[in-house]
Structure 1
Amino acid sequence: MEKVLFENLEISKEIKRAIRDMGFEEATPVQAQSIGPIMEGRDVVAQAPTGTGKTCAFGIPLIEGIDLERRNVQALILCPTRELVVQTTDELMKLTKYKHSIRIVPIYGGQNMDRQIMALKRKPQIIVATPGRLMDHMRRHTIRLEHLEYMVLDEADEMLNMGFREDIDKILESVPEERQTVLFSATMSRGILEIMKKYLTDPVKVQITKTQITVPSIRQYYLEVSQENKIDVLARLIDVGNFKLSMAFCNTKRQVDELTQEMIARGYQAAGLHGDMKQIQRDRVMKAFKAGETEILIATDVAARGLDIEDVEAVFNFDLPEDLEYYVHRIGRTGRANREGVAYSFVGRRDMYKLRDIMNYTRAKIKYKKIPKAEDIAQIRTKQVMDEILKTMEKENLDRYARAIQKYMSQEEFENYTILDVAAAFLSREVPAESFREIEERPRFAEKFKQKIIAPDKKRGRKPEDKKGHSKRRRR
């Protein structure tokens, strides 16, 4: 697909300036295909996963269409979760950096209702909301939508999965018929098709193909790991990569809690995120992660939906996801803004066929990687300690300590030892040999599945949508 530069788009200089400040030059595929039709006033249906630049795809033309003289709600963006509302609002605020007359208000559950009502009294032109809280305001008549011109359904499939279909119908039936509607969804389920048919008029269809889904800047690996060795392997990969910010995904809330506790016990700055946590807890966790105070965030798929942190260096699939789409969502957390990222998947005996399905679905090569050896970790820890010692020697006055060592070295019990022996003893306390056990995992499947797994391009006659793992979700 031909590259589309934001500078060449027919958008205002204020928006172009804001986009430059955000560090973007080239439009993503979903942006390149959506911005034009939306600016022309067409209804649009875009099938695209998280992490493909959807907010700018609908946000840029939406902001350009706002009438700055009018003091009523002109645009409504519905999102499935509070996190996505906050993220979308933040992105729109960046786009309106040089359009000071545009007011945007986020509306979501868990926030004080009176505070939201006060914000609404300032007459915003754009509202970003979750369906449930928006319905509360509509019943109170604190939000009026009779002048609405733009309607956006973001991650519509997730809203249906969360049980918001009835609310969506009521909202769409209460807004003016003469409006522009844009719908974004990772999948085209029966419910999505029904909404399209009922509420959209001759929509332009945008589909990000499977070859466009997986970001080329993300290096993808799998490791054959038994369940009892997963935590050790995760720790080793973090140490070897020296990752400062990473995410690990588990399939259950219980696994998130257990893994978080184990990683903290091993000395890592870890935090968990899942749906059973109170909102104030989730806010605290995300604030610490964004600030770099937490080095590894361990989460379930639903809890992490809509999170957008640019500096995530690595993603670990501690458990392979049940649904193929979630693999794309997970690894898309790294490699943002054209940075290089890496994704590791832990694969057990029962996971190999699922891994093959993921590769066929994404049309990407996921390379086999050996588990880091104990000796490799010991060398890395030793280098880290020696680097710290070098910094100390360069900055600190160590004369007092040197005299103390000389004093003890002159004593009888030390006569058979050298200064090097003393240094080695200190190092052994920082890098104890007994903490590094060798993990004996004999690869059983890498060669057996090699031809089936790493040659997805040869299966051109078979569409990835026909794969067992994908159809499984549709039957739910």
Structure 2
Amino acid sequence: MSLTTFNNFDIDNNIKKAIRNMGFEEPTPIQELTIPEAVKGKDIIGQAQTGSGKTLAYGIPILQKIFIKDKSPQAIIICPTRELSIQVANEISRLGSNIKNLKVLPVYGGQPIGRQIRVLNKGVHIVIGTPGRILDHIERGTLDLIGIETVVLDEADEMLDMGFREDIEQILRHTPKQRQTLLFSATIPDDIKRIAKFYQRDPKHLKIDSKQMTVPEISEFYYNLKDRDKLDGLTRLIDVYDINLGLVFCNTKKRVDYVVRHLKSRGYSVDGIHGDMKQKIRDKVMNKFRNGNIEILVATDVAARGIDVPNVQAVFNYDVPQNPEYYVHRIGRTARAGNVGYAFTFVNGKEHHMLNNIRNVTKSSIKKQQIPSYKEMEEIRNGLIFDEVKNIIEKDDLKNYTKAVKKYTRKNYTTLEVAAALLKMVKDD
């Protein structure tokens, strides 16, 4: 784990505060490599997978040099899809939430162009969008790139695969030659190298190896559930797996409050934390969870990185996280110190594309399961105990225990009978 924190970077305190509010403490590998170089104004080729934290890697350097009083576009971020454009715009807005009067605008097809033109006419500092819609605005004269200081090509290989090369080059030709160009791509094919050669100045190639991001000790499952069925699914799994220390993650503060309220009404020992709560109250709730005074903690991603409790048995993704990095940070709260851990993700129809993205990036096997019926609970509980037994056999020194078992099985009882009695003791406890 890196010893670097965002406080080590030479960036504005307003940005650092926003990063803390977003729940980030340590930079990801691509952020650690990219931010110091990009803040100095250098051109960069950043090679990293989706979900590696690229948005902060280029968003922080962009915000660091925005001049608020100049209301013309100073940075443009080109993305392959409308979904990514919206996601990046949201992330940049959160990152710049403490910068007064900052204007960020996503532009993409499928949204009325008139609405985008009206916002552009009022003044925008950062424009994020797809190549086609950006070019449309340039050709209409509604987007002037004369004052652009930074250009970002996000998921450049994806854009080239989609046939956007000519559009990208045309956009770049409308920007000043003295701009900074940050190019991010999972792969660096020849076409990307050509773009880098023609449109970048002595770029630094910063590469992060694609590796499995998840923790092997975590058993990962997902359940197809409509929103209205998620609460019942959650309570059933808490009961089946006999969770006495579990984390439930939601995407919004409103959802956290909803889940906490309904779990309390069903008799669960639960509390929640999110960004609208004062730090003092959040700390108080965290201490209750850490000390085992509450069994279930419900949280937004703001809290994801700050939670370091060793015996969390399971993480529940009540909502599918919005990117793979959040998923990795969420489920990393369980399976600490050699313990077995479980990650359960609830997926409604609209969330399937997000789950597929997580699976592709993390390369993890997230198995589909059905919420168990009451009849199936007994079998699952037995399986859980034997999973724990297997873990102990593989990791612990059992010499003294095997001696004790041998001693008793020499008398009137078989090893099988002793094992069965021990299972009954554990279940009745």
Which band: TM-score by shorter chain?
0.5 to 0.7
Q: Which moved more, 1:29-38 or 1:183-192?
A: 183-192
For residues 18-417 of structure 1, the aligned pairs below 5 Å read 18-211=18-211, 213-216=212-215, 219=218, 242=233, 313=316, 334-336=327-329, 339=333, 342=343, 377-379=373-375
Q: Deviations over 1:53-87 (max 9, x none)?
A: 11111101110011222221110001111111111
**Distance in 1 between residues matched to 2:161 and 2:219, nearest whole Å:** 29
**Residue aligning to 1:406:** none
Conserved in 2, the CA contact under 8 Å of 1:219 and 1:343?
no
**Distance in 1 between residues matched to 2:71 and 2:188, nearest whole Å:** 36
**Distance in 1 between residues matched to 2:224 and 2:369, nearest whole Å:** 10
Matching residue's letter, 2:176: P
1:165 Cα shift?
1.1
**Distance in 1 between residues matched to 2:369 and 2:103, nearest whole Å:** 52
1:378 Cα shift?
4.0
Conserved in 1, the CA contact under 8 Å of 2:45 and 2:183?
yes
Conserved in 1, the CA contact under 8 Å of 2:214 and 2:364?
no
Q: Which moved more, 1:38-47 or 1:198-207?
A: 198-207
Inter-CA distance 105–221: structure 2 relative to 1 (3 Å threshold): closer
Match of 2:327, SS state, is: coil
**Distance in 2 between residues matched to 1:87 and 1:331, nearest whole Å:** 13
1:196 Cα shift?
1.4
Conserved in 1, the CA contact under 8 Å of 2:74 and 2:149?
yes
Unaligned regions of 5+ residues in structure 1, if any? 223-232, 245-286, 294-308, 316-328, 345-357, 384-476
Inter-CA distance 195–98: structure 2 relative to 1 (3 Å threshold): same
Conserved in 2, the CA contact under 8 Å of 1:334 and 1:342?
no
Inter-CA distance 2–166: structure 2 relative to 1 (3 Å threshold): same
Aligned length: 282
The alignment's TM-score, normalised by the length of structure 2, stands at 0.57
Conserved in 2, the CA contact under 8 Å of 1:108 and 1:134?
yes
Matching residue's letter, 2:199: Y
Matching residue's letter, 2:146: E
1:330 Cα shift?
8.9
**Distance in 1 between residues matched to 2:18 and 2:148, nearest whole Å:** 25
**Distance in 2 between residues matched to 1:372 and 1:17, nearest whole Å:** 40
Inter-CA distance 63–242: structure 2 relative to 1 (3 Å threshold): same
**Residue aligning to 1:225:** none
Q: What's the C-alpha RMSD, in Å, of the aligned pairs?
A: 4.1
Q: Deviations over 1:140-175 (max 9, x none)?
A: 000000111100011111111222111011111221
Q: Deviations over 1:185-206 (max 9, x none)?
A: 1111222222112211111111
Match of 1:176, SS state, is: coil
Match of 2:7, SS state, is: helix
Inter-CA distance 216–32: structure 2 relative to 1 (3 Å threshold): farther
**Distance in 2 between residues matched to 1:147 and 1:372, nearest whole Å:** 53
The alignment's TM-score, normalised by the length of structure 1, stands at 0.51
For residues 418-429 of structure 1, the aligned pairs below 5 Å read none
1:314 Cα shift?
6.5
Q: Deviations over 1:418-469 (max 9, x none)?
A: xxxxxxxxxxxxxxxxxxxxxxxxxxxxxxxxxxxxxxxxxxxxxxxxxxxx
Matching residue's letter, 1:92: I
Q: Deviations over 1:231-273 (max 9, x none)?
A: xx9679x99x9569xxxxxxxxxxxxxxxxxxxxxxxxxxxxx
Matching residue's letter, 1:65: K
Conserved in 2, the CA contact under 8 Å of 1:313 and 1:334?
no
Identical counterparts, % of pairs: 37
Q: Deviations over 1:8-51 (max 9, x none)?
A: 22111111111111111111111111000000110011111111
Q: Deviations over 1:336-394 (max 9, x none)?
A: 455557499xxxxxxxxxxxxx99x98x8979x9x9899x74435699xxxxxxxxxxx
Q: Deviations over 1:67-115 (max 9, x none)?
A: 2222211100011111111111111111111111321111111111111
Unaligned regions of 5+ residues in structure 2, if any? 236-250, 259-299, 305-314, 335-341, 346-358, 380-429
**Residue aligning to 1:445:** none
Q: Deviations over 1:299-341 (max 9, x none)?
A: xxxxxxxxxx9699569xxxxxxxxxxxxx9965733455557
Conserved in 1, the CA contact under 8 Å of 2:85 and 2:107?
yes
